[in-house]
Amino acid sequence: MVLESLRFSRVGGLEVLDQLLVPTEKKYIPVKGSEDAWRVVRSMQVRGAPLLAMVSALGLAVEALERAEKGSEKEAPGALQWLKERMTYLKTSRPTAVNLFNTMDALQEVVEHAAASGSSDKQIYYRYVEAAERMLEEDVQANKAIADAGADAILAAMKAKGREGQARVMTICNTGALATAGWGTALGVLRTLHARGRLERAFCLETRPYNQGARLTAFELVEDGLPGTLICDSMAAALMQCFGVDACVVGADRVVANGDTANKIGTYSLAVLSRHHGVPFYVAAPLTTLDVKLKDGSEIPIEERPDEELCSLKLDGKSFRIAAPGIGVWNPAFDVTPASLISGLVTDHGLIPKRSQDFDVTSFVSNKKRKTKS
């Protein structure tokens, strides 16, 4: 069974795997409401664009259920105002992954619609919980669809080069079951290739400075029995040069209207290296990661993390300083890969058509919306 990043039920509430303890310990911690959800996201006990959105949505669902069951009808503020205020607060945890904002906006639409059609406070809370539960199911289904489309794209690219065997695929950060509600996006593609008997090796980059690759992806590969090799970020070029890889596949935190993509710091370097070595470079993400309100990558807000993450190493709960005190530090958590370096944007609704140097994400999204409505 694939690792569980979270467990949710109406009776048992919400628990999340504390990713700061992985791989040393597998400990689930309770999330009792929106304050806890904000805290576990902010502290990166849970991380990964789809997961941080899901944990925020479900953390609030736990509280919404409590309020529905104890009957907060006469309490001020009413359900709609209270939920909207909590959602605004949840949006302040981390700035780059748009899934959080898209998810909160979609949930807000649900409760506004319920309020406009005359629902009681209790009904509004239940509509919220049902919508969050639906999103949880949809996340896993979306990942499976992405994984199939991504595996097909990689195998087709290999075939076009006359390669019929198993694929050697490189990835960065953690985009697996631990970054989503299950299966994963880019790592889901590797899982599906493996399930089809077509994965020779997954090469995972350590992903400095937070080491999501070494701590989390390596752990998922080992736990699930996928053939995996860990390398430092600085070894990617040498590996492509010495041994060759068939494709790179990465996740995304935000894909904007022209296809420019924000993802974990180091993704852009990997895309540049891939172009130099003629390696197809794929971005795998659900529709909830698309943000057509932004024109290009220069508009994406990039989270900057504390100096401490770069200047110290953590071991057994202790922190060891490795950089000279007083040195200046720049520590962006994400970078933007220009659309021109991306061979394919793989979504749960298939590949977004590529124009010569970019992608028309806006038309893709409006076509999907039109189809869903009809």
d(CA 67, CA 82): 10
- How many residues of this chain interact with ligand MRU, rule: CB under 6 A? 17
Among 149, 167, 179, 294, binds ligand MRU (CB under 6 A): 179
User: Least distance in Å: CB of 23 to ligand MRU?
Assistant: 15
Q: Does 263 bind ligand MRU (CB under 6 A)?
A: yes
Q: Does 166 bind ligand MRU (CB under 6 A)?
A: no
Q: Does 213 bind ligand MRU (CB under 6 A)?
A: no
| 291 included as an active-site residue | no
User: Least distance in Å: CB of 368 to ligand MRU?
Assistant: 19
User: Least distance in Å: CB of 223 to ligand MRU?
Assistant: 17
**Catalytic site residue from 36, 139, 253, 291:** 253
Stretch of 31-39, 173-181, 273-281, 350-358 lying at the interface with ligand MRU (CB under 6 A): 173-181
Q: Does 180 bind ligand MRU (CB under 6 A)?
A: yes
Token pair 């590996």: residue: 239
Q: Does 5 bind ligand MRU (CB under 6 A)?
A: no
User: Least distance in Å: CB of 55 to ligand MRU?
Assistant: 11
Q: Does 337 bind ligand MRU (CB under 6 A)?
A: no
Query: 286-305 mask for ligand MRU (x: CB under 6 A)?
Result: --------------------
Where in 53-112 is the site for ligand MRU (CB under 6 A)? Answer: 97
Among 45, 185, 261, 337, binds ligand MRU (CB under 6 A): 185
Point out the residues that are catalytic: 253
List residues near ligand MRU by CB under 6 A: 47-50, 97, 173, 175, 179-180, 185, 212, 251-253, 263-264, 333
